[in-house]
């Protein structure tokens, strides 16, 4: 997927309504909930001008998301002016891409994650050159560079039945990128991005 064509198509994205997904619905933590995180789906061109986005694999830890594939992102700090600021700051900290070089394209649907008791707000971002990625080794075990065309490839997504004690039994998306299984909250967010992009990219 040529980056210039991709970036040109994205000029229409703000007018595209969010499709949402069953995984975004039906969960309502307490009204005074203040545990929020911002994450970034960052699109960029590789050296050949092909559009990619980047995922991280989290370090193995004692936390509920140990070793999982995820977007760069993290918890909102008191100093953050907005959730977009959180996503930009965390993207810079975790993968070394300057927040000032990223253009935010669209805010996606927020998603509640019961295992960590967080609301997560995803954003689509764009940078017009291939970044010099510098992973934060304390948090990031590795990076996965995914061609944007793979996100729209029906062969790389399947729906699996999953039984969650809170959500119940649902058919939820699972992606396979270069042998990396992407599931859970990240897959739900990717699914919504996929549905949104499919409206403007043929």
Domain assignment present for 174: yes
Domain assignment present for 202: no
The two three-digit tokens of residue 164, written as one number: 């969650």
pLDDT of the chain, 202 residues: tens digit per residue: 999 999 999 999 988 888 865 455 544 444 446 789 999 999 999 999 999 999 999 998 756 557 889 999 999 999 999 999 999 999 999 999 999 999 999 999 998 887 778 899 999 999 999 999 999 999 999 999 999 999 999 999 999 887 665 556 678 899 999 999 999 899 999 999 999 999 998 6
Query: For the segment 136-184, what is each residue's pLDDT rounded down to a tens digit?
Result: 999 999 999 999 999 999 999 999 887 665 556 678 899 999 999 999 8
**How many domains is the chain built from?**
1
Query: The domain that contains 140 carries what CATH number?
Result: 3.90.79.10
Host domain of residue 160: 3-197
Q: What is the CA radius of gyration of the chain?
A: 16
């Amino acid at each position: 997927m040529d980056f210039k064509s991709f970036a040109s198509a994205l000029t229409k994205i703000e007018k595209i309504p969010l499709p949402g997904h069953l995984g975004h619905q039906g969960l309502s933590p307490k009204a005074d909930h203040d545990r929020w995180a911002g994450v970034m789906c960052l699109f960029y061109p590789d050296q050949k001008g092909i559009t990619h986005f980047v995922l991280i694999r989290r370090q193995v830890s004692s936390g509920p998301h140990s070793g999982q594939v995820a977007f760069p992102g993290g918890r909102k700090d008191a100093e953050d002016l907005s959730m977009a600021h959180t996503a930009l700051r965390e993207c810079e900290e975790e993968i070394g891409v300057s927040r000032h070089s990223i253009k935010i394209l669209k805010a996606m649907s927020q998603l509640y994650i019961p295992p960590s008791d967080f609301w997560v707000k995803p954003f689509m971002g764009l940078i017009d050159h291939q970044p010099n990625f510098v992973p934060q080794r304390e948090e990031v075990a590795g990076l996965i560079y995914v061609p944007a065309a793979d996100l729209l490839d029906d062969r790389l997504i399947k729906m699996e039945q999953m039984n969650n004690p809170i959500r119940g039994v649902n058919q939820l998306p699972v992606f396979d990128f270069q042998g990396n299984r992407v599931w859970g909250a990240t897959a739900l967010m990717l699914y919504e991005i996929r549905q949104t992009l499919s409206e403007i990219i043929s």
